[in-house]
Amino acid sequence: ASRFFQGRLNFARGSLADTVTVYAGPFVDQISASSALVSWETDRPSTGAIQVAGKVYHSDSETTVHSVRVSGLQPATEYEYRVVSGDTVLRPYRFRTAPTSGEFRFAAMIDCREGFGGGEINAYGVEARALNALLTHAYRAKVEFVLFGGDLSSGYVTKADELRRMLDSFRTVVQPVHARIPIYESMGNHESLLDIFELDGK
């Protein structure tokens, strides 16, 4: 298979019973001087919460798509946070709130379509090796966010599920950096779902 990135499977402590698995995220977005939005997805409906700065911020209901806004934060401050879904608690991550004034740094990227050669060069529609390296370099250069101007995958497929899997591959690659700084994506021409036309029943 061309997609061989690690997955996740969580087990309850003690009993080792099957429990809620966070399979996508966390992703941090919309960071301001006093707040941030954290989102993630789980393999089954569960409660969701964010632990940060000694406080717990809860989601409204049991769901598989979680989005929690953390507020009341101080500007230009680094915070450690943990995602909690059901009995599952993820490892800690960190984000930094925006300053109220002054200069800032960001990275701009575009087009991470798959290359030839298999493996990380073709990780289900995504050139994962280069994308991971560029995002890691941007994070180490202390950018505050990344703008990604489209062509997140090779796209141009005819089935919605296949395009969804390609976009999931993109999310898998960006997650380690996206858990710490926002990545704002836009659509490119390769984010297209092609139609299949029939002529005379053929």
Q: What is the pLDDT along the chain (202 residues), one digit of tens a residue?
A: 344 556 677 777 778 788 899 989 999 999 999 999 999 999 999 999 999 999 999 987 899 999 999 999 999 999 999 999 988 999 999 999 999 998 899 999 999 888 777 667 777 888 888 999 999 999 999 999 999 998 888 888 888 888 888 889 899 999 999 999 999 998 888 887 776 555 665 5
Q: Which letter does DSSP use for residue 120 in this model?
A: G
State the pLDDT at residue 5. Answer: 54
State the pLDDT at residue 42. Answer: 93
State the pLDDT at residue 113. Answer: 84
Contacts of 85 (CB under 8 A, 6+ apart): 20, 22, 40, 42, 46, 47, 48, 49, 66
Q: Under the phi-then-psi rule, with left for phi > 0, alpha for psi from -120 to 50, and beta for the rest, what region is 197?
A: beta
State the pLDDT at residue 140. Answer: 95
* Contact (CB, 8 A) for 145 and 139: no
CA 148 to chain centre: 13
**195 φ/ψ angles, rounded to the nearest 5 degrees:** -90, 150
Is the Cα torsion angle 56, 60, 66, 67 positive or negative in sign? negative
Q: H helices within the chain, ranges in order?
A: 128-140, 160-178
What does the block give as tokens for 155? 């796209």
CA angle 147, 149, 155 (to 5 degrees): 130
pTM to 2 decimal places: 0.84
* Contact (CB, 8 A) for 130 and 112: yes
Give the containing element (helix H, strand E) for 28: strand 22-29
State the pLDDT at residue 85. Answer: 93
**First vs last Cα of the chain: how many Å apart?**
32
Block residue for tokens 């141009």: 156
State the pLDDT at residue 1. Answer: 38
State the pLDDT at residue 28. Answer: 97
* Contact (CB, 8 A) for 132 and 173: yes
For residue 155, give the nearest of 97, 195, 113, 196 by alpha carbon. 113
Block residue for tokens 């379509």: 113
